[in-house]
Amino acid sequence: MSIVLVVVAAMGTFLVAVIKVSRNYIDIYAPGGVITNMFTWLYVFTASATVLLLFFVLRFIFFDINRYNVLYVDYKRYDFLSDENYNFLIELFSLCFSVISYFFVAILSVFLIKGSIEEKVAGIIVFIVLFSIAYWGVKTIIKRKLYKIAGIWIILSIILYLCLGHLVNSKSSKAEIVFQDSGEVIICNEGFNKENKLVIKMYDEKLVPVCEININEEELLYAKEHSVVYNFVGEDSVEEGLLISEQTIYWKYIFDIKKYVNDSGTYYIYITIKDDNGEVHFKNMFRYFESDYVFTKDKLNKEY
């Protein structure tokens, strides 16, 4: 029991360290990149390994406690199950440590390949070593009949990856549009990426098109909030990277209806805002008479 607890403590420290490192790097690198995806998979594999190990450690403790319960008729069976689970735990620790270390080396090889020629050669060599380790690992899994637990681990990791992706992408954007009686439409948006598309359409009361405008990003006014990670080299602090997950981008566009509407009447305005997070549509009706613009709704806002 004491040996298992020592191994669990060491493995737990290792898993917590990996989770913290991978979580920090996921925040720093831009979403969708190779390095981000690798650190994401490292994170989910480590987190799912933690869940698996916790389950089987508790299972082992249950069997090990019952093996000493001599008042129980079938206590000898627990003696066998405890020893069996002990061997299984050691093999599971070895498997988890090997796979997580494999991911570390794989990420290191990606960093090397992005460097100089010498680093590229080193990265290729590391990849060759990785394939050898992977081949050996698959043979070990089959030989020790760990394919079932490996399959459960992969399925659990995929589920966690999908949940994590949903949580990462669940950060919403906010759009707000103010319609002024002077004919100006102020469009504001708050989100976490700069890939935006703005489309404005207007129709008269007979639904005859008045204008359709696609606004380029260069025409938008931008503001940004972000956090930066710093590392210390000696006594000097060096900027390490931008925390993408804590970045907020604001933009504004002012649309002047007076440039397109000169005749009295009733009109409809449609506004569409798109970004990587989704899109949102606004529709408002207004009446123009004697230089005054009367809108059905003076302000519209939506979270998407």
CA atoms of 256 and 269, how far apart (whole Å) = 12
| pLDDT tens-digit readout, 196-253 | 789 999 999 999 999 999 998 888 898 887 666 555 545 554 445 555 555 788 999 9
Domain 174-303: top CATH class: mainly beta
pLDDT of residue 50: 80
CA distance 243 to 240: 10
Q: Provide the token pair at 248.
A: 């907020």
> Do residues 59 and 80 make contact, with C-beta atoms less than 8 angstroms apart?
no
What pLDDT shows up at residue 69? Answer: 72
Question: Is residue 14 within a helix (H) or strand (E), and if so which, with residue range?
Answer: helix 2-28
Across the strands, what pairs with 187? 177, 253
CB contact at 8 A, 71 and 146 = no
Contact call for residues 168 and 39 (beta carbons, < 8 A): no
- Give the Cβ contact number of residue 113 at 10 Å: 16
193 by DSSP, 3-state: which? coil
Residue 273, phi then psi, degrees to nearest 5: -120, 130
Helix (H) or strand (E) holding 248: strand 236-256
- Does the global pTM surpass 0.95? no
Interhelix angle 34-66/147-169, rounded to 10 degrees, is 130
Q: Where are the domains of the chain?
A: 2-169, 174-303
Residue segments in the chain with a per-residue pLDDT below the cut of 70: 1-8, 10-12, 14-38, 70-71, 73, 104-147, 164-171, 193-195, 226-246, 276-277
pLDDT at site 199: 94
Single-letter residue type at 212: E
